[in-house]
Amino acid sequence: DLEIGAAVAGGGHHQNQDYPPPFYEDEEYRELLATEFTSLTPENQLKWDFVHPAPDEYNFEAADDIVAFAEENGQDVRGHVLIWHSQNPAWLEEGDYTDAELRGILRDHITTVVGRYAGQIDQWEVANEIFDGSGNLRTEENIWLRELGPGIIADAFRWAHEAAPEAELFLNDYGAEGINAKSDAYYQLAQDLLADGVPIHGMGLQAHLGLMYGFDPSLQENLQRFDDLGLATAITELDVRMELPESGEPTPAQIAEQAEWFSSTLEACVAVEGCQSFTLWGASDLYSWVPHTFEGQGSATPWTEDLERKPAYCALQQTL
């Protein structure tokens, strides 16, 4: 069964600071999350800087609340993330640790966080954005790769598997939707990990798309090649952003094209047997990360700021 998911914005950290934490305070938004989706991904609440703010301190409150909400509503939860170059706390990035200490820190973190939600979070994005656009490992930016070498990837998968033997463990990245240097690097890595008996179960494609970049028609073929390795696949963070005109409102042509892109992405996933999750990175433009991250861009989700459905919503419904 294909899970239809959404990233959950707020508590604590959320993008649009003009509003109170949506997950706690916006009833209409909660209702939308509960009724339109069968899977949830904490947008920020399981990232290192949020969940592990000090060496000996974990902050599980927000993630616990999302997991409880998902349980009430019979939804799955995707865990996001364990190894990443971004949103790490200063104590980690600027700490003066030996290699052995760093290894211990990562192992404890994975054991603690994954173990806490064993049986509740059944998919984890273990390694996020580890390759750059040329298909090289991000060895400079990523503290784990830089200090401990590429073998740490396999270790992270093994530790996560020990902590939650039932959970499916994923690689995940953006810009790897089509067949290109980055997805080739993942395709090779996945085969190497499988050959070494590492517990890896899936490849996640974020799919932060933008109308100005064009839609890559090789998406389905790319999903299929990972599927052929025996891996699950997933669309993990889909949004379709656009350059907004002066008025700040998208044009009808942009809105129509966006609807096509959402449904084309879903079609590709539906066509590939092991594509098990289709997750949107935001369920309303009001809380989307896009306007805060890409200047002049927006309107990236299927719901307007007033939580009205856009043509993208209907296009998705028709494709399902």
237 tagged catalytic: yes
305 tagged catalytic: no
Dihedral-angle region of residue 127 (phi above 0 means left; psi in -120 to 50 means alpha; beta otherwise): beta
For the record, the structure tokens of 236 come out as 């993990």
Between 278 and 289, CB nearer to ligand XIL? 289
Does position 187 interact with ligand XIL (CB under 6 A)? The reply is: no
**All residues at 6 or more sequence positions from 163 whose CB lies less than 8 Å from its CB, including other chains:** 110, 111, 114, 115, 118
Contacts with ligand XIL in 87-106 (CB under 6 A)? Answer: none
Between 125 and 216, CB nearer to ligand XIL? 125
Does an H or E element contain 252, and which?
helix 252-271
* Annotated catalytic residue, options 3, 43, 125, 129: 129
Alpha-carbon span 26 to 30, nearest angstrom: 6
Does position 177 interact with ligand XIL (CB under 6 A)? The reply is: no
Contacts with ligand XIL in 8-27 (CB under 6 A)? Answer: 15
* Minimum distance from residue 214 beta carbon to ligand XIL (Å): 20
Within 26-148, residue ranges assigned H as helices are: 27-36, 48-51, 61-72, 90-93, 99-116, 143-148
Beta-bridge partners for 241: 210
Dihedral-angle region of residue 71 (phi above 0 means left; psi in -120 to 50 means alpha; beta otherwise): alpha
Site for ligand XIL (CB under 6 A): which residue of 39, 75, 128, 264?
A: 128
Alpha-carbon span 29 to 18, nearest angstrom: 16
Between 273 and 288, CB nearer to ligand XIL? 288
Size of interface with ligand XIL, in residues (CB under 6 A): 8
Closest residue to ligand XIL, judged by C-beta, is 289
The answer to whether residues 265 and 217 touch, using CB atoms and an 8 Å cutoff, is no
Between 87 and 191, CB nearer to ligand XIL? 87
Alpha-carbon span 123 to 179, nearest angstrom: 24
Contacts with ligand XIL in 138-167 (CB under 6 A)? Answer: none
Contacts with ligand XIL in 25-44 (CB under 6 A)? Answer: 43-44
* Minimum distance from residue 251 beta carbon to ligand XIL (Å): 25
Alpha-carbon span 20 to 30, nearest angstrom: 13
* Minimum distance from residue 87 beta carbon to ligand XIL (Å): 6
| CA distance readout (Å), 233 to 3, 77, 147, 276 | 12, 16, 30, 6
Contacts with ligand XIL in 199-258 (CB under 6 A)? Answer: 206, 237
* Minimum distance from residue 206 beta carbon to ligand XIL (Å): 6
Q: Which of 280, 131, 265, 287 is nearest to 211 (CA)?
A: 265
* Minimum distance from residue 305 beta carbon to ligand XIL (Å): 16
Between 41 and 251, CB nearer to ligand XIL? 41
- Residues 276-295 vs ligand XIL: string with x where CB under 6 A? -------------x------
* Minimum distance from residue 232 beta carbon to ligand XIL (Å): 18
Between 106 and 176, CB nearer to ligand XIL? 176
Q: Which of 247, 237, 245 is nearest to 290 (CA)?
A: 237
Q: Which residues bind ligand XIL (CB under 6 A)?
A: 15, 43-44, 128, 174, 206, 237, 289
Enumerate the active-site residues: 129, 237
